[in-house]
Amino acid sequence: MIINQLQKIIHLKIVYFGPALSGKTTSLKSLFNHFGKKEDVKSIESSISRTLFFDYGIIMFQNEQWQLKINIYSTTGQDFYVITRPTVLKGTDGIIFVADSNIESFKRNIISWKELENYYPKNIFNDFAKIICLNKQDLVNKFKVNDFLKEIWYQSYKNIKLKYTIALNGEGILESFEQLIAMIFNKIYKYEMPLKFNN
Ligand SMILES: Nc1nc2c(ncn2[C@@H]2O[C@H](COP(=O)(O)OP(=O)(O)O)[C@@H](O)[C@H]2O)c(=O)[nH]1
Ligand SMILES: [Mg+2]
């Protein structure tokens, strides 16, 4: 987070993380669609339309005094590009972990979560806001949520929430995003920064 007192701008960085094909790009596009900015998502895609490096877009909010500029990224889930991920994850204020609820993706979600966790020292990972979106809720063959939560030791984390999404039709996407922003600003209030948003 960068707070520019002079220009009254706050910069946030939010990252959509998760295994390949879990629905990160779809979630991001759906989010920007809510704000009428679907065209503003920049993706670097391969010929088969999988994200090559990352998707990126900015959403701005404004109140009387302050401007809030939210930089939003999604990482690539393809192992070949694993090298771009630490760069994207740097300076992150909040993470939306997009899990693929398909029973066949169970293990890949766990691996991806552990990978994410390993980028940060434990206290830092605990500190920033995290939301797990169990995406693809429309599927019939989903893994049991409790199995997943147990496997990643969900109870051991702070600043974490669980949401259910269907990125394909936008269900839960905006709510998850708003929840994450609220969590980020709750943290700021704790440090008694004089901010108030009512976008
Ligand atoms: N059934 C279903 N499919 C989804 C959902 N979200 C994304 N997908 C599909 O999953 C595939 C991968 O999505 P994409 O957003 O490219 O995944 P990414 O690799 O995480 O960016 C695409 O075929 C999407 O249409 C969802 O909520 N339900
Ligand atoms: Mg993608």
What is the rounded distance in angstroms from the CA atom of residue 26 to the CA atom of residue 5?
35
Biggest CA pair distance of the chain? 52
CA 34 to ligand 1 center in whole angstroms: 17
> Which ligand 1 atom sits nearest the alpha carbon of residue 77?
19
What is the rounded distance in angstroms from the CA atom of residue 47 to the CA atom of residue 65?
44
pLDDT tens, residue by residue, 81-135: 565 666 667 788 999 999 999 999 999 999 999 989 988 888 888 888 999 999 9
pLDDT of residue 43: 63
pLDDT at position 196 over 80? no
Residue 24: closest CA among 184, 165, 175: 165
Q: Which domains does the chain show, CATH number per domain?
A: 2-190 (3.40.50.300)
Pocket around ligand 1: residues whose beta carbon is below 6 Å from it?
A: 18, 20-26, 50-51, 77, 135-136, 138-139, 166-168
pLDDT at position 147 over 80? yes
pLDDT tens, residue by residue, 59-76: 888 888 888 999 998 876
**Residues 163/179, Cβ–Cβ less than 8 Å:** yes
CA 5 to ligand 1 center in whole angstroms: 39
CA 94 to ligand 1 center in whole angstroms: 21
And the tokens for 96? 């939306």
What is the rounded distance in angstroms from the CA atom of residue 140 to the CA atom of residue 101?
9
pLDDT of residue 102: 98
pLDDT of residue 31: 93
